[in-house]
Amino acid sequence: MTGAHVKRAFKYRFYPTDAQAAELSRTFGCVRKVYNLALQARTEAWALRSERINYNATSAMLTEWKKSEELAFLNEVSSVPLQQCLRHLQAAFASFFVKKARYPRFKSKKKSRRSAEYTTSGFRFRDGRLTLAKMAEPLDIVWSRPLPEGASPSTVTVSQDAAGRWFVSLLVEDASVMPLPARDSAVGIDVGLEHLMTLSTGEKITNPRHEGKDRARLALAQRRLAKKEKGSANRAKACRKVAKIYARIADRRQDHLHKLTTRLVRENQTLIIEDLTVRNMVRNRKLARAISDAAWSTFRNMLEYKAEWYGRELIAVDRYYPSSRLCSKCGSLQQRMPLNVRTWTCDCGTTHDRDVNAAKNLKAAGLAVSVCGAGVRPQRRKPGGQSAVKQKTL
């Protein structure tokens, strides 16, 4: 992969004027309305007439909706975000039809993300100043980091989070993203809760427990919110306070994971992780909060795209691979290994730290598949010398 083909989104905070905030709020509302109307039309067409409606048909519908007296307000905002939301709906249906996502849902005024996407015809970007369609003044953006030299945004997404903060995301081609020099190092990574992750080198990375640090503040804010009358201004203020605490937790978590994944990708050519189904694991009520705070899925997503950017190899070992119960020294397989067992001694006399041993086994399994190809069946020895075959799918 060459750097010229990598598209990156650079996100910045900005502070709109009252007029800009009002315009953007109207745009968010119109985007939500058009999306819901199009979803309803597509759903009814299939349910009543077994007819599939595509983007072109909903685009024609949008033209007619604008002509109606009831929906004339759609003409007051830029047409670009409205067309983009129809494209997003088309993409949502495409993912549903190939079974990558569930059926698209209607956007809620209170719960759905407030955002609008502009293509090049909907904004002007000159000399570091961004002006959106229907606006006379450029946005007051806090440029916390520079855009790549000579970069020109292809799309701009404006959003407002639950805490009331405004953000603008610029999608640009970043030629500076290039494969890093090749290394001969590989690392197995075992994620956990006591430690965020354990590396096959023996290093243990502390779990910062971001949510736990703010749990008392969050609980207090939520109790105060619960006492406010629904629909009142005080409830809206209390809701905003809760959202600010959640935003603080999420920001710190993202920052920590970005630094950690960047370091791992820079230091290792091959990274081996376990293919965990986090969605199923959070159904455990005792562990759901801790697993969500650890953000294993986010960690994996970051590793995936950074490995692709920088020419690294990421291998996911099957979740049923007994990395914790397998002796990394002699290969014998223990029959049981309860979660409360953190150290154990093998029949060969080797005493293992559970997490370090698992990381070493993941590394060995991942490298075996990297060399032999998917579908390899490594031999494992049970206590007593018998071999146990375990299929590993990557």
**Catalytic residue positions, numbered:** 190, 274, 355
Token digits of residue 185: 């190092």
In whole angstroms, give the CA distance from residue 367 to residue 272: 8
Sign of the Cα pseudo-torsion (16, 21, 27, 33, in order): positive
Q: Three-state secondary structure along 23-62?
A: HHHHHHHHHHHHHHHHHHHHHHHHHHHCCCCCHHHHHHHH
What Rg, from alpha-carbon coordinates, does the chain have? 26
| C-alpha span between 316 and 392 (Å, rounded) | 10
Token pair 């000399």 is found at 127
DSSP β-bridge partners for residue 173:
7
Rounded to 5°, the CA angle 204-205-208 comes to: 140
321-332 in b/e form (b: 16+ CB < 10 A) is bebbbbbbeebb
The stretches of 295-376 forming alpha helices (DSSP H) are 296-309, 354-372
CA–CA distance from 359 to each of 274, 333, 338, 343, 353 (Å)?
9, 15, 17, 14, 10
The widest CA-to-CA distance across the chain, in whole angstroms, is 82
